[in-house]
Structure 1
Amino acid sequence: MTSAQFKPSKWTFLFLMLAAMMILMGGAAVAPALPLISAAFPDASDASISLIVTLPALAIAITGLFLGILSDKIGKIRVLAISVAVFTIAGSSGYYLNSIPAILVGRFFLGVGIAGIICTTSALIVCYYDGLTRARILGYQAAAMGVGVLILEVSGGLLAGISWRAAFLIYLLGIVILAGVLLTMREPARKCEEIRAAPGERKAESDEKFPATPLLLAYITLFMGNLLFFLMPTKFPFLIAHMDAARIMGENTALTAGIFLGIGGCASAILGIFYGRIAWRFHRYTILTVTLLSFGLGLCILGFATSLVLVGVAVVLVGIGEGLLMPTILTWIAAITPRQFLGRAMGGFSVSLNIGQFASALAVLPVIALVATYSNMFLAFGCIALLLAVPYLVALIREKHNPSVAAHDTLAQVAQK
């Protein structure tokens, strides 16, 4: 399926975005069915029921880097197609499996499928597109992830209204995605110039090394950003439950929390749509400084919030931070990674993304024990986010005042890769 002359069509773009919609869907689609699953298996512990949601993320963290390396060796399209097939089969397996251990095995393999989708779709976008177009598509990818969670979680909830088993059928959407991958995508050449290069030039390209140290900084930034972001879906509902103003719709504060989380998701999606224009104009250090400041201010406002107006401002700020974070990290990876290493680089991206999610749940425990309330917890993490913004602000100042470095590391430079 390799073709150096392949140019992505509108259909290619569509199915890349549909594949991106599945990336954050690991546990979200069946989460509304968890109470029904618990009732169907009364002997199962609460911990094992919770693993139905969390186990896919663990599988992604374990297998993401391996699948990224594999995609560099055997081809990104091949790994993507296999991953979507695994996603579909393993995801829907809960419909016909009859025990919690068997369902959990299926959920683990669902995570393996998602890991392959993360690695390959991000790498394919970098290979298929350049410059401003690449930044715009990566922004759309981030927006598609957020929209996918919203749409698929609602769909899973509707199917759960039929039966808990029906909720697992949402993963059959993978059949459509698989057909689209096979029909609209082709394997990109490892380097488009490789076919035309002289033998000496090919050797020089083969001497390129995997940029482990620069990528580590990008991965740490992604890890910390997602650690902060995942405080929202995991702890924000508890904050709302203790807020008198949140009872505007009665005692059902879960509905209020869901509405505000949806507002944050919309802010994130909107930023993703316009990300191409932002990335073209601003240095990545500027964007990451704004990202961490948005996280910090949003979380601090939640710490002080006593009204729904302040809560709304806070969730929008956190949503802006998330909307900027993922496409910025992806464009950063694209800028510093030789194309032949993109698969493993994106594998590291998927690992950092999901370890941040796990670490968020663990990091909360000592902080809550220390500060006692959810308001103080959000305030503490907000202060941490503001401190994390300082190194990028300092780096930005140094970059602008260093005459030996170009003023802006823009996507125009990335397009020259």
Structure 2
Amino acid sequence: MMCLLSVGWDMLSMRAVSVMFSLLASSTNSLKALISKADSPPVITTEVNDVFSIYEIPFSTSRSNQHTTFARHGSNSRAAWAAGIKRIHRGAFYHYFHAACPSYNAPHPMPDRTGKRAEFGRTAERKGNSMSSAQVKEGFNKAIIPIMAIFALGASQGGVNAGLATMGAAFPEAGPNIGYVISMVALGMIPSGIISGAVTGRFIKYRTSIIAAIVLYIVSGCWPFFMGSGESFGMLLASRFVFGFAVGWSYPLAQALTFKTFDNENKRASILGAGMAFFNLGSLIMELAGGYLALVSWQACFLVYLIGIIPLVIVIFMLKEPERDSEQAAELAAETGGEVKTKIPPIAFLYMLMLTLIVAFAMPTILYCSFVLPDSAISGWVLSAMTLVGAVTGFTLGPVYKKLKKWTLPVAGLFLGVLYVVCTLNAQPGSFNLVVYIATFLVGHWGFAIVIPATGNMITNLVPIGAATRAMGFNTAFHQAGCFLATPVATLVMGLLGAQAVTDLLLPCSIVIVVLGVLQFVLAGFTDMSKYDDGYGKVELHHDA
């Protein structure tokens, strides 16, 4: 931690460091707000230790009739929940530690997939001990921390950006292909996301899968540090592919855990948005640390991935094993009287494809901003500011989705395209306006930082809980395909236009994003959300002793 602080001190001014830590503090406060403002305790899906039997439970199962009445009449149980929190025994650390993710839904009127309050006059049975809402809230706290830790490792490509120049000198045979040190990570994430989603929860436990992925993340990420001068460039790329495989294995599981843990679609959007915020904060910290380490040597900058030890410890001690997708689907079907659904609807893949295309055509504007701005110092500050914008933007997804619902994606996509068109118009030779370029570039990034988590959130609303992990694996693969295809897309556009400079392709790419935004409006218009509802989030679950 002291190393990271010194990095921030050396790389940024005192004011920039203050902004970064203020943002970290606001991240924590925002997550707390998600808890305090919730109308009902969240859905937590893992088992609880029998130690709870020695505690007095404020909401005992003897009150089931009372809660059934609440459900029938749509009453708000927030006051009762708050009372339960006050009465819980706060001083027992052992109790707190084992409160993580109990398999319990406190009795309350549960919102459905469409955001309307469902009125079920019955309660469903699930295995596990009866839990108070305060214990559920503690479990929520413990569940969200490892999820955010996994999200923070997702943006790991840029950790070695600062060492690319010295890497190019160490591997002169690489030439312009030195950029594949970054893009090879995205290539590795594509197959691993699909495989991870297919096997985790079916053949491998979630905890085992995530822990193994983070260990591989640390080992493969740091491996180039031990490479000698005689090693080939191909060996470096191979290590980066393995590293990308590790990142792509763990990242979709953070999304899947969010899907499985939170059945309220508005709350789920908030958590996925917070994940995007931590994604960007992790990127910022690693870029700063990587820049500092690159001053030592190009090999040393790979030591930045030792930061993975922190999420590893958090996951080992705080992540509880969730139910399998098939188990959740079977329980849901039993309680709703419906069938077990485990298929990903085709329309979900259309949304994933739109994500691939938007990312592929937006990335050139981001990647080539250094060709537009006057010098590398300004480029560095603008890119750092962009990362901060992405972090702040993540916390806006919840409120935006609550208002716009399925229209969130098309609004964000069109917003991104229009702002990038204005941005690139001011990047042309003879009409360059630095202030307008930077302002529209940063404000437009709101749309980019919304599109990514909002697509994941849309997938959770279209896909049955029985396919949660597989769907998130595919979503990660499509996302990273867009990242990897950005350079080939830029090359293709330049070839089609006969352009000589990279700045010539920015405006056409931005216009394509506008077109994609319009197509997303059409897609959203044809998407009937109720058609894809499997009842997840509608059934009010309650424990019996």
TM-score range, shorter chain: 0.7 to 0.9
Matched pairs, number: 392
Establish whether residue 67 from structure 1 lines up as the match of residue 196 from structure 2. yes
Q: Which runs of 4+ in 1 moved over 6 A?
A: none
Tell me, yes or no, if the aligned pair for 1:30 and 1:167 is still in contact at 8 Å.
yes
1:392 to 520, 523, 542: 520
Establish whether residue 381 from structure 1 lines up as the match of residue 512 from structure 2. no
Matches within 5 A, 1:71-150: 71-73=200-202, 74-98=204-228, 99-100=231-232, 101-131=234-264, 132-150=266-284
1:314 aligned counterpart, secondary structure: helix
Determine the structure 2 residue equivalent to 1:295: 416
Tell me, yes or no, if the aligned pair for 1:232 and 1:261 is still in contact at 8 Å.
no
Which structure 2 residue ranges, 5 or more long, are not aligned?
1-44, 49-100, 103-138, 427-431, 540-545
Cα distance between partner residues in 2 of 1:92 and 1:62: 22
Identity over aligned pairs, percent: 21
RMSD: 2.8
1:13 to 126, 140, 144: 144
Cα distance between partner residues in 2 of 1:398 and 1:153: 41
Cα distance between partner residues in 1 of 2:255 and 2:146: 13
Cα distance between partner residues in 2 of 1:383 and 1:3: 46
2:170 to 28, 40, 43: 40
Cα distance between partner residues in 1 of 2:288 and 2:179: 19
Cα deviation for residue 363 of structure 1 reads 1.2
**Richer in helix (by share):** 1
Matches within 5 A, 1:175-254: 175-190=309-324, 191-192=327-328, 194=330, 204-205=339-340, 208-240=341-373, 246=374, 253-254=375-376
Which structure 1 residue ranges, 5 or more long, are not aligned?
241-245, 247-252, 400-404
Relative to structure 2, which stretch is displaced further, 378-387 or 257-266?
257-266
Cα deviation for residue 4 of structure 1 reads 4.2
Cα deviation for residue 319 of structure 1 reads 0.9
Tell me, yes or no, if the aligned pair for 1:80 and 1:121 is still in contact at 8 Å.
no
Letter in 2 for 1:81: I
Tell me, yes or no, if the aligned pair for 1:77 and 1:120 is still in contact at 8 Å.
no
Tell me, yes or no, if the aligned pair for 1:76 and 1:187 is still in contact at 8 Å.
yes
Establish whether residue 261 from structure 1 lines up as the match of residue 304 from structure 2. no
Cα distance between partner residues in 1 of 2:177 and 2:516: 35
Letter in 2 for 1:295: L
TM-score under structure 1 normalisation?
0.86
Cα distance between partner residues in 2 of 1:356 and 1:127: 26
Letter in 2 for 1:237: S
Matches within 5 A, 1:281-360: 281-284=403-406, 286-305=407-426, 306-360=432-486
Tell me, yes or no, if the aligned pair for 1:297 and 1:314 is still in contact at 8 Å.
no
The Cα offsets for residues 102-121 of structure 1, whole Å up to 9 and x where unpaired, read as: 33322111111001111211
Cα distance between partner residues in 2 of 1:64 and 1:137: 20
Q: Decide whether aligned partners of structure 1 residues 188 and 269 sit closer, same or farther in structure 2, where only a CA change above 3 A counts.
A: same
Cα distance between partner residues in 2 of 1:200 and 1:268: 39
Q: Decide whether aligned partners of structure 1 residues 48 and 300 sit closer, same or farther in structure 2, where only a CA change above 3 A counts.
A: closer
Determine the structure 2 residue equivalent to 1:250: none
Determine the structure 2 residue equivalent to 1:57: 186
**Bigger Rg over Cα:** 2
